[in-house]
């Protein structure tokens, strides 16, 4: 399917690897021009070179922390008028509600709620003026099914979801849509590092922990960044003009609800 985004300008945040990279590759494959960011300069530059070479599109790397004002300013300076904005960043750390300070909560809200809202605020009115825009927030399945050890993530990401729900319905008449994509377990460095952490805590091997987590999925496996990217790219496509304010859970049915 032609996604109808050839030549569209896309910002993909937190995209040197993992889910962000999966989305960047899928948009590039359909001819979008990318501005991508991550904090580690060498890695975001390497990813930009690889994507540009593979798909023959322009890819501008920006080394920045998207959860800071300076970082977002650098990103927007590189791409002031995006047609597509994909919000993403690292997730808050796991832990126990009892041990979280208000500062921990503030950091989570800053990184996973306010930073995407700031980027949406900076870009959505231009999209409305130009009559075309696609905004996608990468959140987590934890918004729909709370994960006990990820209370900071459950809370901050649900805040973002609620924070843009009315806006999503207001902007759609201008051919601008805002949606959220909620990953369950996808095979990325982050997922592998959490399996290593569980293994260290429980005395099990990495293979035991990682294997049990895969077996836990109705699919018997983790999702891939390519599968994630393909679904995300559709929500950023020409064809998504009638889809807004939605929360697409990508977890192979791991959250056991009928609706
Ligand atoms: P990953 O493989 O660790 O990749 C994270 C990417 O984000 C890297 O490119 C990293 O590069 C960049 N990044 C992290 N913090 C950043 C920041 N403050 N500013 C700019 N770039 C930043 O992680 P992932 O699995 O793709 O996860 C992406 C998001 O989805 C996270 O919020 C995660 O919690 C969420 N999620 C993932 C899963 C899963 O199963 N993978 C499930 C649910 C939710 P630098 O380190 O160089 O900045």
User: Who lines ligand 1 at CB under 6 A?
Assistant: 14-20, 37-40, 43, 65-67, 88-91, 138, 140, 183, 185-186, 188-191
Q: What is the pLDDT of residue 241?
A: 98
Q: What is the pLDDT of residue 23?
A: 99
**Centroid of chain to Cα 37:** 12
User: Taking Cα atoms as reference points, which of 57, 66, 49 lies closest to residue 26?
Assistant: 57
Which residue's CA is the closest to the ligand 1 atom numbered 3?
190
Query: What are the pLDDT tens digits along the chain (259 aa)?
Result: 999 999 999 999 999 999 999 999 999 999 999 999 999 999 999 999 999 999 999 999 999 999 999 999 999 999 999 999 999 999 999 999 999 999 999 999 999 999 999 999 999 999 999 999 999 999 999 999 999 999 999 999 999 999 999 999 999 999 999 999 999 999 999 999 999 999 999 999 999 999 999 999 999 999 999 999 999 999 999 999 999 999 999 999 999 999 9
CB atoms within 10 A of CB 203: 7
Which residue's CA is the closest to the ligand 1 atom numbered 14?
90
Which residue's CA is the closest to the ligand 1 atom numbered 33?
91
The rounded Å distance from CA 188 to ligand 1 centre is: 9
Q: What is the pLDDT of residue 160?
A: 98
Q: What is the pLDDT of residue 154?
A: 97
The rounded Å distance from CA 138 to ligand 1 centre is: 10
C-alpha to C-alpha distance for 174 and 244, rounded to whole angstroms: 12
Helix, strand, coil in percent for the chain, rounding step 5: 50, 15, 35
Please report how many Cα atoms fall inside a 13 Å half-sphere around the Cα of residue 206, on the Cβ side.
7
C-alpha to C-alpha distance for 46 and 82, rounded to whole angstroms: 22
The rounded Å distance from CA 174 to ligand 1 centre is: 31
Closest atom, ligand 1, to C-alpha of 225: 26
pTM over 0.95: yes
> What tokens appear for 217 in the block?
């999925």
Closest atom, ligand 1, to C-alpha of 38: 21
Q: What is the pLDDT of residue 74?
A: 98
Q: What is the pLDDT of residue 136?
A: 99
Q: What is the pLDDT of residue 189?
A: 96
């Amino acid at each position: 399917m032609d996604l109808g985004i050839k030549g569209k300008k896309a910002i993909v945040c937190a995209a040197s690897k993992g889910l962000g990279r999966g989305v960047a590759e899928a948009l590039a494959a359909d001819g979008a021009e990318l501005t991508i960011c991550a904090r580690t300069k060498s890695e975001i530059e390497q990813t930009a070179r690889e994507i540009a070479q593979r798909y023959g599109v322009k890819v501008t790397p920006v080394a920045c922390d998207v959860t800071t004002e300076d970082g977002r300013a650098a990103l927007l300076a590189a791409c002031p008028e995006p047609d597509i904005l994909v919000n993403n960043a690292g997730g808050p750390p796991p832990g126990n509600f009892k041990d979280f300070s208000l500062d921990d909560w503030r950091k989570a809200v800053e990184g996973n709620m306010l930073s995407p809202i700031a980027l949406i605020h900076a870009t959505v009115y231009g999209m409305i003026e130009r009559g075309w825009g696609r905004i996608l927030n990468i959140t987590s399945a934890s918004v729909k099914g709370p994960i006990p050890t990820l209370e900071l993530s459950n809370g901050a990401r649900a805040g973002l979801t609620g924070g843009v729900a009315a806006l999503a319905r207001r902007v759609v008449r201008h051919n601008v849509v805002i949606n959220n994509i909620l990953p369950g377990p996808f095979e990325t460095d982050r997922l592998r590092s959490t399996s290593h952490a569980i293994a260290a805590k429980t005395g099990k091997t990495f293979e035991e922990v990682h294997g049990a987590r895969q077996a836990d999925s109705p699919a018997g496996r983790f999702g891939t960044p390519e599968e994630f990217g393909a679904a995300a790219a559709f929500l950023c496509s020409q064809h998504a003009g009638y889809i807004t304010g939605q929360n697409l859970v990508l977890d192979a049915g791991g959250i056991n609800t009928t609706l």
